[in-house]
Amino acid sequence: METYQYFILFISVMLSGAAFFLVKSSGKYFLKLSLAFSGSFLFAISILHLIPSVYINNDEKIGIFVLVGFFIQIMLEYFSEGIEHGHIHVHNHHSQAFPLTMMISLCLHSFLEGMPLSYHSHAHDDHNHSLFWGIALHHLPVAFALVSMLSESGIKKRNALLWLALFACMAPLGSIVSHVLSEGALMNIADIYDKLMAVVIGIFLHISTTILFESNNDHRFNLYKLGTILVGGFMGYLIS
């Protein structure tokens, strides 16, 4: 992964999370629309770009790793309470177990997503490009939801931004650790790239379908959501 991509992954999360303090009044509306866009985008790139990339080598067992990723995300959400797709559950900040378990789950989720980004090859550059933008756009509403939840739980602004910075580091860290392990001969990422990508695809499929199938009683909003979903899907089709 290029240096500028590490910077984009980190700074985009920081800016999106910090934006909560500027748009508190309309934050939930912004969050719902941005989630709809990112969910549609993730679903589109998974179906159109990422899934074909892992099946191109005719590995009959690759679907198992897609399922593994799907169920890993289910387990992670047991602890994160669904913040990956915008669910904000406000807890009393004196309960130290909640932010800890939530952050561990959220950071592990981001770390896993970043691992395939360390692999460079001409055959996979287009797929990594799609994955990079999928992660970057998906993390924007997650960062906003994270800061919103922490702030509403009574956590100080400075501490909320520190938690945000930790989350922002995890996808780049996943890529770095994957690269270091590969360079140190502890593993060859070229050999497991498709399996790592399949796990991430499973994570993306769970998150995106959860977002897209969630209903809203406000029919007017549903119209806006439909338009946003169509734009996100079209953007996913265009990216390569």
pLDDT tens across 174-203, in order? 999 888 877 766 666 667 888 889 999 999
How high is the pLDDT of residue 87?
63
Query: Which of the two residues, 94 and 1, has the higher pLDDT score?
Result: 1
In whole numbers, what is the pLDDT of the chain averaged over residues? 83
Ranges of each domain in the chain: 3-17+29-84+92-238
165-175 confidence digits (pLDDT tens): 999 999 999 99
The arithmetic mean of pLDDT across residues 33-47, rounded, is: 91
The pLDDT of residue 91 is above 60 = no
Determine whether 12 is exposed, middle or buried from the number of CB atoms within 10 Å of its CB (0-12, 13-18, 19+).
middle
Q: What percentage of the chain carries pLDDT values higher than 70?
A: 82
- Tell me how far CA of residue 170 lies from CA of 62, 67, 126, 139, 224, in angstroms: 25, 23, 22, 11, 32
Higher pLDDT, 71 or 156: 71
Query: How do residues 94-147 score in pLDDT, each as one tens digit?
Result: 444 456 888 888 999 999 999 888 766 545 566 778 889 999 999 998 999 899
- What does pTM read for this prediction? 0.84
pLDDT beyond 50 at 93: no
Can you tell me the mean pLDDT for 73-78? 89
Tokens at 27, concatenated? 């934050």
Whether the predicted pLDDT of 72 surpasses 50? yes
- CA–CA separation, 137 vs 158, rounded Å? 24
What are the helix (H) ranges across the chain?
Answer: 3-18, 27-45, 51-55, 62-80, 97-114, 125-152, 157-183, 189-213, 219-238
